[in-house]
Structure 1
Amino acid sequence: MTTIPVQAISPVPDRVAGRESQMSRFVVKVIGLCAQDKRAQADLRSGLGLPYERCHRLHRHLVRLVPRDVRHAAARRPYYAVAALIAARSRSAREEEAARAEDLAVQRKQARAAESAVEGSVASEAVPDPATGVDAGRVWRERVSLGASLAEAVNNGLLKPDSAESELHYMARVGSDSLHMRLPALMRQLNGRGVALDWAVLLEDLSWWDRHQDRVATRWLEDFFRVRMAEQSADSAASGLDRGESVADRDDDHNDVTPEENE
């Protein structure tokens, strides 16, 4: 599986930590609701690709989960869209998230133990969300964007490079209505296939789309090419190592020739 490198920029100016954690909590609550109540999951799934005004079956579940200060329909739509996408995850996608959460928990525990072993150091308190497998303690700009996820899908052979890049360029040009309609089909190509998705980051990006579309789209494209180039560099290094070993093997074979054979 591809390792997604750290992102270099933030998609929008002046991110607020409280807003980020608020969105992460919403995602965790939606995932928990889907796990506990299959009827609720079906209701949320019915909102795939629909505008906020037509998500009639979602209100009974999301009215209490969407932050109270998010009141305008356009501002609420990203929450409804992400909730529907989460509800539409396949069983394999849910299992992948659980496995990723377990792996991150082990890594974080080992890191805290290592930090505690250093005299005068303070162990990190950051832990992964138990439901999503996302390390909630990572700096927001270091978390996985949609562009990085698409690049990971390409690196894993799930999508063709040109198709994934064209999809990003298309989304960069369209308004929120077309973007929201496009996401369900795109997510179906990624869910449950070993690709990391950060629902809270996607929610944040969709929330900024109407006001900072160019910034968000630029981040998606930069992350896409950054992850792609990292994979290509790793492949080139591996190929170079293989070629080096081949040359060394040939040299060894040459050195094994006896003087009599040379004559």
Structure 2
Amino acid sequence: MNGPSTPSPRSSRAPETALPQPSPGNLGDSFAFAALNRDLAPRTCSRYLQLLTKQPPEALFQQLVTAVMALRDKDVPVDFTKLLYDVNAWPADQDRIAKNWFQHYFRTAPDDETGDQAD
């Protein structure tokens, strides 16, 4: 008697983006990726980061949803594990996290004005 087949450990229940893969980095790296690939304009990416990093803990989530949806709409990879870690630490460590996002963004993103990659 042949019954239903047993699903493999990597069944089709998990979306492709949920499968393990190398981390794209923090949110700054995701915005840099978007700017380099022209998924979003470099100026738009830096403005998103400026807006996000000025948010108090109680307002961060609302702005973050909009920013992450803009990235995901363009299929830009986002490391949600790192992002959740940063959001959890935001109330006590906002300045360090903001600095880290900016450093990662400006290390590789193109210049807002010229579109040339930073050195």
The normalised TM-score by structure 1 is: 0.35
Corresponding residue of 1:134:
22
The residue number in structure 1 matching 2:47 is 166
**Which of residues 36, 52, 55 in structure 2 aligns to 1:155?**
36
Structure 1 residues 193 and 212: CA distance shift in structure 2, 3 A? same
What letter is aligned with 2:35? V
User: Is the Cα contact below 8 Å between 1:134 and 1:198 reproduced in 2?
Assistant: no
Question: In structure 2, do the counterparts of structure 1 residues 192 and 171 end up closer, same or farther at CA, with 3 Å as the change threshold?
Answer: closer
Superposed displacement of residue 233, structure 1: 6.1
Which residue of structure 2 aligns with residue 232 of structure 1?
117
CA distance in structure 2 between the partners assigned to 1:158 and 1:222 by the alignment: 20
Structure showing greater radius of gyration is 1
Structure 1: 5+ residue stretches without partners: 1-31, 37-93, 99-130, 136-142, 235-263
List 4+ stretches of structure 1 deviating above 2 A.
none
**Match 2:94 to one of 189, 213, 218:** 213
Q: 1:169 to 1:188 in 2, by over 3 A?
A: same
TM-score (norm 2): 0.73
For structure 2, the residue ranges without an aligned partner over 5 or more in a row are 1-9, 111-115
DSSP 3-state at the match of 1:232:
coil
Displacement of 1:132 after TM fit? 3.8
State how far apart, in whole Å, the 1-side matches of 2:39 and 2:86 are: 24
Distance in 2, Cα, partners of 1:211 & 1:157 = 34
Contact conserved, 2:33 with 2:109, CA < 8 A, in 1? yes
Larger RCO (alpha carbons 8 Å, 6+ apart):
2
CA gap of 1:233–1:219, structure 2 versus 1, over 3 A, is closer
RMSD value over aligned CA atoms? 2.5
Residues 1:132 and 1:172: Cα distance change in structure 2 (over 3 Å): same
Could you say if the C-alpha distance between residues 132 and 199 of structure 1 is closer, same or farther in structure 2, counting changes exceeding 3 Å?
A: farther
Amino acid at match of 1:164: C
